[in-house]
Structure 1
Amino acid sequence: MPAKDAPCQRSRRRFRHRSCELALLDPEDLAGITPVVNREWVRLAVLGGVVVGAALGANLLGVPDSASGPLIGIVSLITVGVLYGARLVGTDLIDVMRGHSRK
């Protein structure tokens, strides 16, 4: 008769459960690899700065209020496209700006 903890023993190298640790890779597979640094905050800070800069620039240049909204939206779309590249689908971004969701 198998022991109560047999599933954990069989999967000792991979997905462990209960009191076992969870790991997708063995520690020897990760030896010598540096972890990835999350720089999402940099992208968000740049995006915020560009959007605020576009709003201030439009105000200082005397752009009419009816044109400043679309101008800021277009600048935001272009900036997100530059910062995120192919990771963000353009149609999804337009849907977000409109307040819609296709999913």
Structure 2
Amino acid sequence: MLLMLSAVHCGRTLTQLREQGTLDLPRLSLRRAERVIRRAWKTRHDNVRRHQRQQMKAHAARVVGAMRVAESRQYDNPEEALIRMANLLAMVAHRYAEGRTLQLLDEEQMAGAESVADRSWLRLAVSGLLIVGVLVVLSWADIPEMATGPVVALIITAVLAGVYRGRIPGYHDLIDIFRGADRR
């Protein structure tokens, strides 16, 4: 559903481009669709053998790379880029619905696209280390007990907002990170 909503958003942005021109055109981001593509194989196939899992992860990384190539062309030729992004998203959504997670896009559609590594585990580790480090420093400081709770909550929120750049991971993201780490 999220993939199709992203394709619809591309269509609406294309309509806005044709009506108003490129002056006030917002840049369209496909980050939410990338998360769906990365976990497509986990969602559609519960028990996957190790070699198949590696193939599916590699294919998803190339599909994300193709999406990023299409997304990066918004400044060169926005109309063509939006049409390409909408077509890619619709094809990925269709093949995902069919359960073809190892064929989300064809080779010619991914031509020139490099694999994009998934570094969500790194963000989780960095945020965890920063929070633990700040809590250790906070325990050495002379802060009244009444202020400790709000200060800790503020620090945790600030660290997560800084590491995730305003996008705090949801429980689905955390479960995917842990499921991926569990299967290695």
TM-score class normalised by the smaller sequence: 0.5 to 0.7
1:4-15 mapped onto 2 (5 Å cutoff): 15=95
Q: TM-score, normalised by structure 1?
A: 0.57
Larger gyration radius, structure 1 or structure 2: 1
Match of 1:72 among 149, 152, 164: 152
Paired positions, count = 76
Residue 59 (structure 1) aligned with residue 139 (structure 2): yes
Normalized per residue, the structure richer in helix is 2
Residue 84 of structure 1 and its aligned partner are, at CA, apart by 1.6
Residue 39 in structure 1 maps to residue 124 in structure 2: no
Consecutive unaligned residues of structure 1, counting only runs of 5 or more, are 1-13, 93-103
Q: Residues of 2 paired with 1:21 and 1:41: CA distance? A: 22
Aligned-residue RMSD, C-alpha: 2.9
Aligned CA distance change for structure 1 residues 38 and 28 (closer, same or farther; 3 Å): same
Tell me if the contact between 1:47 and 1:79 (Cα under 8 Å) persists in the aligned partners. yes
Bigger RCO of structures 1 and 2 (CA < 8 A, at least 6 apart): 2
Query: Quick one: percent identity of the two aligned structures?
Result: 30
SS at the partner of 2:95?
coil
Moved more, 60-69 or 70-79: 60-69
* TM-score (normalizing by structure 2): 0.35
